[in-house]
Amino acid sequence: MQIVVQNGDTYWRFSLIFGVPLQLIIDSNPAIAPDALQAGQVVQIPGYEWRRHTVVAGDSLWRIASANGISVELLMRSNPGVASGNLVIGAVLLVPQKITSRIIDADRPYTYAAVLEDYNALAALYPFLRSSTMGKSVMGKDIPELRVGNGSRIVHFNGSIHANEWITTCALMLFLNDYLLALSSGADIREAPTYPLYLETTLSLVPMVNPDGVDLVINGAPESEPYRSSVLAINGGNDSFGGWKANMAGVDLNKQFPALWERDAVMGPQEPSPRDYSGTAPLTEPEVQGLAALTRSSDFSMVLAFHTQGEVIYWGFQGLEPPESAILAARFAAVSGYEAIRFVDSTAGYKDWFIQDWRRPGFTIELGSGINPLPLSQLPDIYNKSLGIMLAALQG
């Protein structure tokens, strides 16, 4: 929501009258320095939107403000020229309305377009949410990375590396919405204060690493060539893609990282496949190149790659993980009920590469149970269990 600056206004004053933490207002207006506010400037206030109220008989500023949970001062600020006692029946007032519930709909087949739709809605309401393009997919789709927070400690989450595991994106976007809502409201999540997390930690989130693959699983083969003919050929002519894990080129993105890639490559298919093909070399695919570049440039303290299924947490690689990984894995297991497993026959995965090259905590979180793609009926349970993991990761 936008409000026009008047003489004497400060970000601190806006924080008080809107009930929004000061740093969120500052971060929502990066082009306006806190000590440079001038009358007539337009300031973004996170967590609010305008609602129109038509004045009826018996209305007063106090009655309208009380019914909407705001102060009379804020109502008058939103409607310059309106004073108590001169309300005109039929006049339309702008009423700031604080958002108190989720605004996105992640409980649906979560295509790339759906993710962008929900991201745009969140960015409009919470302008302290930042975004950049991590890279592009095989088909040229921009892959967004989202950031929340301004702490020096950066924690990274990603989902939908595997196409038929797109329910991970649902869980990540739900967490993003809940986190933004709690921050702008000064609220806790599961008794964990969120504003200190914002100040101390930056969340980096890539909700959908493999947008082409997700769209393929949900929508079927695209109409455009050469992609349609290619994926149908890779899939043996079958137009059902529920078993597809790879990107549009038939390469498994979680078998593309230079962490014993040579060992991994000889164990799977030797040509493009719906799953398990490691490619001709590490880091050949644009989605992986983008994620690798982001990781190299960001100095992540910890990474969590969300997959399905099995309700397990994998946290080791070749004994290279740091001692704190065991502590974190035990904590993640305690808050989720998942089993923490140190070693598994895993090579060339994202968390493997991160542990190998940075010697910092990296985790693969396998959400839910059953056969991929998991049904949306599992989303409430998946989110309930993964929420504790995500909060604990931000807390460190």
Q: What is the pLDDT along the chain (396 residues), one digit of tens a residue?
A: 999 999 999 999 999 999 999 999 999 999 999 988 999 999 999 999 999 999 999 999 999 999 988 889 889 888 887 866 678 999 999 999 999 999 999 999 999 999 999 999 999 999 999 999 999 999 999 999 999 999 999 999 999 999 999 999 999 999 999 999 999 999 999 999 999 999 999 999 999 999 999 999 999 999 999 999 999 999 999 999 999 999 999 999 999 999 999 999 999 999 999 999 999 999 999 999 999 999 999 999 999 999 999 999 999 999 999 999 999 999 999 999 999 999 988 899 999 999 999 999 999 999 999 999 999 999 999 999 999 999 999 998
**Residue corresponding to tokens 């929420």:** 387
Classify residue 252: in a domain, yes or no: no
Is residue 373 reached through a cis peptide bond, with omega within 30 degrees of 0 on the bond before it?
Answer: yes
Do residues 290 and 135 touch, judged by C-beta distance below 8 A?
yes
The structural domain count of the chain equals 2
- Are 53 and 198 members of one domain? no
In a domain, 296, yes or no: yes
Q: How many CA atoms lie within 13 A of 125 on its CB side?
A: 29
Which of 98, 125, 145 terminates a domain? The answer is 98
Phi then psi dihedrals of residue 30, to 5 deg: -65, -20
- Alpha carbon of 214 to those of 83, 114, 161, 167, 256: distances in Å? 54, 11, 9, 10, 18
Tell whether 180 and 291 lie within a shared domain: yes
CA 138 to chain centre: 22
Residues 64 and 122 in one domain: no
Query: Are 372 and 332 in the same domain?
Result: yes
Q: What amino acid positions are annotated as catalytic residues? A: 366
Residues 179, 314, single domain; the answer is: yes
Q: How far apart are CA 155 and CA 113, in angstroms?
A: 26
Instruction: Return the CATH number at 81.
Output: 3.10.350.10
Residues 6 or more apart from 88 whose CB is under 8 A from it? 55
> Looking at residue 386, which CATH number applies to its domain?
3.40.630.10
Q: Are residues 84 and 174 in the same domain?
A: no
Distance CA(108)–CA(167), nearest Å, equals 9
Cα 212 to Cα 215: distance, rounded to the nearest angstrom? 5
Gap between the Cα atoms of 66 and 373, Å rounded? 47
Q: Is residue 149 in some structural domain?
A: yes
Q: How many CB atoms lie within 10 A of CB 83?
A: 9
Give the Cα separation of 165 and 152 in Å (integer).
31
CA 376 – CA 167 distance, rounded (Å): 7
DSSP helix, strand, coil percent of the chain (3-state; round to 5): 40, 20, 45
| Bridge-based pairing state of the strands 92-98 and 188-189 | unpaired
Q: Are residues 57 and 168 in the same domain?
A: no
- Co-location of 343 and 287 in the same domain: yes
The first and second tokens of residue 70, run together, are 């705001």
Q: Note whether residue 218 is domain-resident.
A: no
Question: Considering the domain boundaries, does residue 65 fall inside one?
Answer: yes
Asked if residue 253 is part of any domain, the answer here is no
Same domain, 42 and 88: yes
Among 72, 98, 124, the domain-final residue is 98
Q: Do both 32 and 92 map to the same domain?
A: yes
User: 68 and 129: one domain?
Assistant: no
Per the structure, the complete domain to which residue 45 belongs is given by: 2-98
Tell the burial category of 2 from Cβ atoms under 10 Å away from its Cβ (0-12, 13-18, 19+): exposed
320 inside domain = yes
Domain closes at, from 53, 75, 98: 98
* H or E element at residue 272: none
Residue whose pair of structure tokens reads 């806790």 in the numeric block? 188
Judge whether 239 lies within some domain: no
* Residue 65 shares a structural domain with residue 93: yes
